Structure 1
Amino acid sequence: MLDYGLPVLFVLFAWWFLTGAVLYIIGLPRTTVRWSMAGASIVALGALATLWQTAGDTSPAAAYTAFMAALLVWGWHEMSFLTGVVTGPRTTEAPRRARGRAGLWPAIETLLYHEVAILLTGVVLFAMLWGSANEVGLWTFVILWVMRISAKLNVYLGVPNLTEEFLPAHLTYLKTYFCRRGMNLLFPVSVTLSTIATFLLIGEAGTSAGAFDKTAFTFLATLMALALIEHWFLVVPLPSAALWSWGLWSREDEAVGEMTASPVLARASVPVQPDPPQPVSATLF
């Protein structure tokens, strides 16, 4: 049982701790952004070097190391976006008459640089790790990437529980690209495919003979399950703020109007800016 239990607990702890850590960092005054990003960049470069060094190592310890390194690389992208350092060419509200397909490109423009940066990182990871003995870091990054794109599309197309209250003040213009509705046609497809992927990974973990494979597939299955749960958060209101209340301590003395906190791998309820702009209804169907 330890072959499965310890990796599951490790993923849960990493998910909880890194979310709280980013909450804390994002809640710091704007004057700290350059230092926060400098530190995050050093950590991310070290994580990339670690992934390269562990590419040929198939020990369980290497699986743990590669998984954590991939999370740190992903964390850099989330921090760079939430701090406003890497977003997109459009930093204004959605055009008033842009709906459906016409509104998709303006929405993409708000994230374009961020998504291109993730794409380039993915290319680097594929070049480094594809075909290697230890691909844990590569597939960890891929799961985070695919599931984040799915979540963004669902928020754009419309879900009951939007993530607008989690945006920092300098990104509040993104609220106008969201749509609140009971359901969209993509959501059931997203959760169905995610559920299938989760069970396939669980099956691989259960049938793997070696300790490395058991650990690796347990990591990926647990991460996929958490991403699936986050999708359900979009339609089923589940309070989660208590899990990361410690991450909000940096905001206790924050002046009104300064940047609010925002999680990376999960959601936490935080105060919303007063009188937010109304979301623009958007659909691709």
Structure 2
Amino acid sequence: MGATAIAIPYVVFVWWFSTGAVLALVGLAARHPSAFKWGTAAAFVAAVSGVIVSSRAAEDANAYCAFTCAILLWGTVEMSLLAGWITGPRPEPCPGDCTPASRVGFALQAIAYHELALIATAGLVFAVTSGAPNRLSWWTFAALLVLRQSAKINLFLGVRTLNDELLPQQVRFMRSYFAKKSINPMFPFSIAAATTATVLVAAAALGAKSTFDGVALSLLASLIALGLLEHGFMALPMPVINLWRWSAPVEPAMAAVAAIPAPVHVPPPAPAVPLARPMLNVVQPALEAERPAPPPKAAMSAQKNAAALARQRLEEQFRQAYRQARADAQAQAITGLAAVSVTPPVDPNTTAQGGVP
């Protein structure tokens, strides 16, 4: 019972850690290509050896070993694709002007060799476990193959969330074959099939007659359930990359962009508020309606001429009054001088009574 109880958390951990490990190792492939290739080949051989050894006995430990070796075997084949070693005869982006039928052909050519490698590896696992008491490695690899093919087809037909941020630089061309849509006709059937498989295998695990069968079926049911969850990630706007942020490689260009400080946001100035003119807008039409019509041009000319004549008369009257006042002043001055000149001089020796002392 204890071996069955830890099956679910074990599968969740292996699924999460193995995905992150593959992404982290692929990030090192460009810097150490030879060591990475030899390491991947050694892991492939070790996984196949583990599949063979674990298939010989139907025990709880063998169930965990078979499951883990199948995951390791799958990971080595996936690394060959993500590192750009095994892709297809045309590992290039999809032309933008191709027809839907040509798009299918280009997509197959982009990853054909990798698909053949997966099928060949599945055949190898089937062959080495055929007739063995423990065939969990085969069922695990087969479940991964079916779930991955379903995910690839749905990405090709179109899903809401692509999660293509996890693709390494070597296979970024595969983005051009993904389509972004709210849903595609195949997606509901994929969800229904994965849900049905999860329920059936889980029910078989609950009704297992032996501990080994319970453990093996629990591991398999948990894996299919996680495949169903991955399909759900494609329909929900969830940042899946956050689950493996610790292992996702960061490109130099992206790192340089991230190092640039964010610009300070300066809010734009508030638009000028126009002065309110309610009274003018209301009163002006009324004034314009009550304003009399302008007089004709002839009447305006006559008024201007009359005003000019009146101004000239006033100016002439002012000049005449000024000349008259000036003439009167000059006449008074002349009269005063004449009166002074005819007055006899006073003898200083005379007294006030006119006598001489």
- The aligned counterpart of 1:149 is 149
Unaligned 5+ runs, structure 2: 256-357
**What is the 5 A alignment of 1:99-118?**
99-118=99-118
- The aligned counterpart of 2:22 is 22
| Cα separation, 2, equivalents of 1:32 and 1:23 | 15
- The aligned counterpart of 2:233 is 233
Q: Could you tell me how far 1:21 is from its partner in structure 2?
A: 1.3
- The aligned counterpart of 1:86 is 86
- The aligned counterpart of 2:252 is 255
Cα pair 1:37 1:79 within 8 Å, conserved: no
- The aligned counterpart of 1:33 is 33
Instruction: Report the more deviating stretch, 181-190 or 35-44.
Output: 35-44
Say whether residues 1:201 and 2:201 are aligned partners: yes
Name the SS of the counterpart of 1:192 in structure 2.
helix
Q: Which amino acid aligns with 1:19?
A: T
Name the SS of the counterpart of 2:6 in structure 1.
helix
- The aligned counterpart of 1:56 is 56
- The aligned counterpart of 1:221 is 221
Instruction: Report the more deviating stretch, 43-52 or 221-230.
Output: 43-52
Decide whether aligned partners of structure 1 residues 113 and 205 sit closer, same or farther in structure 2, where only a CA change above 3 A counts. same
Q: Which amino acid aligns with 1:229?
A: L
- Show CA shifts across 1:185-213 (max 9, x none): 01001010110000000011000021110
| Cα separation, 1, equivalents of 2:61 and 2:74 | 20
Name the SS of the counterpart of 2:220 in structure 1.
helix
Q: Which amino acid aligns with 2:171?
A: L
Cα pair 2:165 2:241 within 8 Å, conserved: no
Decide whether aligned partners of structure 1 residues 120 and 29 sit closer, same or farther in structure 2, where only a CA change above 3 A counts. closer
Q: Could you tell me how far 1:98 is from its partner in structure 2?
A: 2.2
| Cα separation, 2, equivalents of 1:45 and 1:59 | 23
Cα pair 1:169 1:257 within 8 Å, conserved: no
- The aligned counterpart of 1:261 is none
Cα pair 2:29 2:36 within 8 Å, conserved: no
Decide whether aligned partners of structure 1 residues 39 and 12 sit closer, same or farther in structure 2, where only a CA change above 3 A counts. same
Unaligned 5+ runs, structure 1: 259-285
Instruction: Report the more deviating stretch, 222-231 or 159-168.
Output: 159-168
| Cα separation, 2, equivalents of 1:103 and 1:77 | 25
Cα pair 2:156 2:179 within 8 Å, conserved: yes
Name the SS of the counterpart of 1:224 in structure 2.
helix
- The aligned counterpart of 2:289 is none
- Show CA shifts across 1:51-96 (max 9, x none): 1112220010000000000000000011000000111111222123
Q: Could you tell me how far 1:237 is from its partner in structure 2?
A: 2.0
| Cα separation, 2, equivalents of 1:161 and 1:121 | 30
Name the SS of the counterpart of 1:137 in structure 2.
helix
Q: Which amino acid aligns with 1:109?
A: Q
Percent identical pairs in the alignment equals 35
**What is the 5 A alignment of 1:6-21?**
6-21=6-21
| Cα separation, 1, equivalents of 2:78 and 2:179 | 22
Aligned residues: 255
Decide whether aligned partners of structure 1 residues 166 and 241 sit closer, same or farther in structure 2, where only a CA change above 3 A counts. closer
| Cα separation, 1, equivalents of 2:8 and 2:16 | 12
Cα pair 1:140 1:220 within 8 Å, conserved: yes
- The aligned counterpart of 1:121 is 121
Over the aligned positions, Cα root-mean-square deviation in angstroms equals 1.7
| Cα separation, 2, equivalents of 1:6 and 1:17 | 16
- The aligned counterpart of 1:96 is 96
- Show CA shifts across 1:227-258 (max 9, x none): 0000010111223444323324x64xx52279
| Cα separation, 2, equivalents of 1:101 and 1:192 | 27
- The aligned counterpart of 2:302 is none
Q: Could you tell me how far 1:29 is from its partner in structure 2?
A: 5.9
| Cα separation, 2, equivalents of 1:139 and 1:173 | 31
Q: Could you tell me how far 1:159 is from its partner in structure 2?
A: 0.6
Cα pair 1:58 1:134 within 8 Å, conserved: yes
| Cα separation, 2, equivalents of 1:43 and 1:29 | 15
Q: Could you tell me how far 1:97 is from its partner in structure 2?
A: 2.8
Decide whether aligned partners of structure 1 residues 247 and 220 sit closer, same or farther in structure 2, where only a CA change above 3 A counts. same
TM-score (structure 2 length as normaliser)? 0.68
| Cα separation, 2, equivalents of 1:122 and 1:168 | 25
| Cα separation, 2, equivalents of 1:256 and 1:13 | 32
Cα pair 1:136 1:216 within 8 Å, conserved: yes
Decide whether aligned partners of structure 1 residues 25 and 218 sit closer, same or farther in structure 2, where only a CA change above 3 A counts. same
> Which of structures 1 and 2 has the bigger CA Rg?
2
Cα pair 2:3 2:60 within 8 Å, conserved: no
- The aligned counterpart of 1:180 is 180
Cα pair 2:54 2:62 within 8 Å, conserved: yes
